[in-house]
Amino acid sequence: MSPSVAARQVGWLLRVNRRLGPDPGLRVGRNFAAAFRAEEPTRELAPSHVTRWESGQLAASRAVVARYEHLLGLPADSLVVVTDLIMRYFSVPRPADRNPPGGLPRPDEDRLYELLRRAEHPGDMTGQSWIELAKLVSGHPALVLFPETIWQRLAERLLPELMVSEGPSWLLRQEAMCRLLEHPVAGRFVATTCVDFARMPGSTAFVEPIALLDTTAQRPANDYLLGQLDTPGGPRSQHAAMLATIRKLPAGHFDAAQEDRLARSLAALADDATLTPDDRFLVSYLSRSVLRRRPRVEARVRNTLLAAGRHLSPGRPMDGHERISHRIAQQAQRELDAAATDDDVLTGLVDELLFSPNTERRFLATMTISATPYRTPVIRAVLSVLRRSVSTRTGGIPVGAGLRTLTTLGTDAHRPLLAEILTAPGVSPADRSVAAWAAPHCAGTFPVHVWRQVIGAQAAQGSRTGTEVQERIMQGLVYGIGTDRHHDLLADLGNDPTMPESARATASWLLRTPPSGA
Q: What is the pLDDT along the chain (518 residues), one digit of tens a residue?
A: 456 889 999 999 999 999 999 999 999 998 999 888 755 555 667 888 899 999 999 989 988 999 999 999 999 899 999 999 898 888 777 655 545 445 566 678 889 989 999 998 877 899 999 999 998 998 888 888 888 889 999 999 998 888 777 777 888 898 999 999 989 889 999 999 999 988 876 554 457 788 889 889 999 999 999 999 998 876 678 888 998 898 898 889 999 999 999 999 999 998 888 887 778 888 988 998 999 998 888 888 989 988 888 765 544 444 467 888 999 999 999 999 877 788 999 999 999 999 887 777 888 999 999 999 999 999 999 999 898 888 776 657 888 888 988 988 889 999 999 999 999 888 888 888 989 999 988 888 999 999 999 999 998 887 666 678 888 899 999 999 998 999 999 999 999 998 998 889 889 888 876 555 56
C-alpha span between 254 and 241 (Å, rounded): 14
SS3 (DSSP) at 37:
strand
SS (H, E, C) 98-162: CCCCCCCCHHHHHHHHHHHHHHCCCCCCCHHHHHHHHHHHHCCCCCCCCCCHHHHHHHHHHHHHH
**Per this entry, what is the length of the chain?**
518
C-alpha span between 104 and 143 (Å, rounded): 8
Instruction: Give residue 333's pLDDT.
Output: 94
Is 457 in contact with 419 (CB distance < 8 Å)? no
C-alpha span between 399 and 387 (Å, rounded): 9
Residues whose CB is less than 8 angstroms from the CB of residue 346 and which lie 6 or more positions away in sequence, other chains included: 12, 16, 329, 332, 333, 369, 374
Instruction: Give residue 36's pLDDT.
Output: 87
C-alpha span between 90 and 211 (Å, rounded): 16
Closest C-alpha to 205, from 515, 505, 446, 511: 505
C-alpha span between 430 and 427 (Å, rounded): 8
SS3 (DSSP) at 77:
coil
DSSP string, 258-304: HHHHHHHHHHHHHT-TT--HHHHHHHHHHHHHHHHH-TTS-HHHHHH
Instruction: Give residue 316's pLDDT.
Output: 45
Instruction: Give residue 205's pLDDT.
Output: 45
With both helix axes pointing from N to C terminus, report the angle between 186-199 and 149-164 in degrees, rounded to the nearest 10.
50
SS3 (DSSP) at 44:
strand
H helices of 20-61, in order, are: 29-35, 47-55
Instruction: Give residue 100's pLDDT.
Output: 47
Q: Which long-range contacts (CB under 8 A, 24 or more apart) does 143-150 make?
A: 143/104, 143/183, 143/185, 143/186, 144/185, 145/116, 145/185, 148/185, 148/189, 149/189, 150/116
Is 33 in contact with 44 (CB distance < 8 Å)? yes
Instruction: Give residue 1's pLDDT.
Output: 41
